[in-house]
Amino acid sequence: MRLHSRQPRCIAASLALIAVIFAHTALAHGVAEGDATFLQDKEGFHFWPYFYLGAKHMVTGYDHLLFLAGVIFFLYRLRDIGIYVTLFAMGHSLTLIVGVWFDIPANAYIIDAIIGFSVVYKAFENLGGFQRLGVNPNTRLAVLIFGLFHGFGLATKLQEISLSQEGLLANLIAFNVGVEVGQLMALMAIIVLMSAWRLQNSFARQAIVANTALMFAGYLLVGYQLSGFFLTR
């Protein structure tokens, strides 16, 4: 069944609105005060609390989800999706654990601005921007590198909490396992929605609108994070 001629416009407006809402929500995407207090009161290894908070952090992490949506937007084979998502997971798992374990200092605003830029980058790539420039970036390497920054972003959120050193490494691994499970759950939902959307005759036109909205959301993230950086100096 063909979509009504006005429907693409409605979908475009909806996507733009969702992108703005996602970007605005992601600005405050840290560890909730109640969760932070809960973690600070815990001594030793506690798998399930850290697992739950890791999953919760990823499922509500719209900056991470926007990037993932951009990554798989034009991937049709599960094998390709698996490769890119694995590269992303390898990157953010490494910097999440290493960043907190070795207490590597970083400005959260700058890291989050780079995460926002990763959304812009992927949307630009999906819109064929690099092809028009005659540039052929290594897409797998890019996902891995941006994964490193996404993981570092998670690390900066945990570094803001006074976590107990007793059982810290095990707790970080539990948190990361939760992040991976949360990512898998979100990814499955995105794949289902994308598969249904691709069956529509107007998908090609709407894909341009969707990635434009995605890029707009990324620019909002970058702008807000850089504003926060300069205002706090």
Look up the domain containing 161 and give its range: 7-23+31-231
Taking residues 186-209, report their average pLDDT.
94
Taking residues 111-123, report their average pLDDT.
97
- Measured N-to-C along each axis, helices 203-231 and 7-26 cross at an angle, to the nearest 10 degrees, of 20
- How much is the pLDDT for 160? 87
Q: Is residue 2 part of a domain?
A: no
| 3-class SS letters over 123-180 | HHHHCCHHHHHCCCCCHHHHHHHHHHHHHHHHHHHHHCCCCCCCCHHHHHHHHHHHHH
Q: Is residue 137 part of a domain?
A: yes
Q: pLDDT digit string (tens) for 39-92?
A: 777 788 999 999 999 999 888 888 999 999 999 999 999 999 999 999 999 999
Taking residues 91-116, report their average pLDDT.
96
The answer to whether residue 135 scores a pLDDT higher than 80 is yes
Q: Is residue 108 part of a domain?
A: yes
Q: Is residue 1 part of a domain?
A: no
Please give the model's pTM, rounded to 2 decimal places.
0.86
- How much is the pLDDT for 30? 60
Q: Is residue 67 part of a domain?
A: yes
- Rounded Cα distance between 2 and 8, Å, is 11
- Rounded Cα distance between 195 and 93, Å, is 28
- Rounded Cα distance between 67 and 79, Å, is 19
Q: Is residue 174 part of a domain?
A: yes
Neighbours of 37 (CB within 10 A): 11
Number of domains in the chain: 1
Q: Is residue 35 part of a domain?
A: yes
Distance set, CA 204 to CA 8, 10, 162, 224 (Å): 11, 15, 48, 31
